[in-house]
Chain A
């Protein structure tokens, strides 16, 4: 399974865009990039995932570089409720490789007023 590298912590001002980077330089062709977040002591919350194209949903945008070795999660207008630990995960896409998620240490995002 490809490993990911994220900064341990980041700050963001409320109302500004939060850009969370992730390095996954050993990603292989069939691996998806997933983002989850976890607010203290709650279950992780799914945010977004993608394979090679940029993706957007109601929560966030995911920008994947052309070589797929890194990605950025963008929260366009961060609020205090976005304060959480954000995890970037790569997962094999094949059916027979199962569905496990390998969590790293994540990035602790603090949104400040």
Chain B
């Protein structure tokens, strides 16, 4: 079974631009979560989508948004990019939502904001 895939793998943007990242979950998985990893803050939860609905949201500004499609694929969008948004963005999928279900991570998208 194919794992979680994320596109693109690397991205360079400039301040003020916006960016859209894509995540395809493992086949059959209905929950997709997004995380941001930076050297200073570590791994931080952004949001979770399940059955096209946002189930949970981390402590990030409204510039960070996401959505999930009927085939469970998910996208996240960051508007008005800031230098501090440079990070590794990770997507994870699980069969269902809730703590009984292990999350499997993709390789991440490395975003650099200049």
Residues of A within 8 A of B (CB): 30-32, 34, 38, 41-46, 49, 87, 91-105
Contacts and interface: CB of A to CB of B under 8 A. Distances in A.
A30 B98 CA distance: 11
Contact of B103 (A93, A97, A101): A101
Given A100-B45, A103-B42, A105-B42, A46 B102 contact: yes
A93 B58 contact: no
Interface residues of B, number: 31
Contacts of B101: 99
8 contacts: A32-B100, A43-B90, A92-B99, A93-B99, A96-B98, A98-B48, A99-B97, A100-B58
Interface stretch (B11-19, B68-76, B105-113): B105-113
Interface of B: 4, 31, 33, 35, 42-45, 48, 50, 55-56, 58, 88, 90, 92, 94, 96-108, 110
A34 B106 CA distance: 18
Nearest to A92: B99
The 7 closest A-B pairs by CB, nearest first: A98-B56, A43-B105, A91-B99, A103-B43, A93-B99, A95-B98, A100-B45
Contact of A46 (B45, B88, B103): B103
Contact of B45 (A34, A38, A43, A101): A101
A43 B33 CA distance: 13
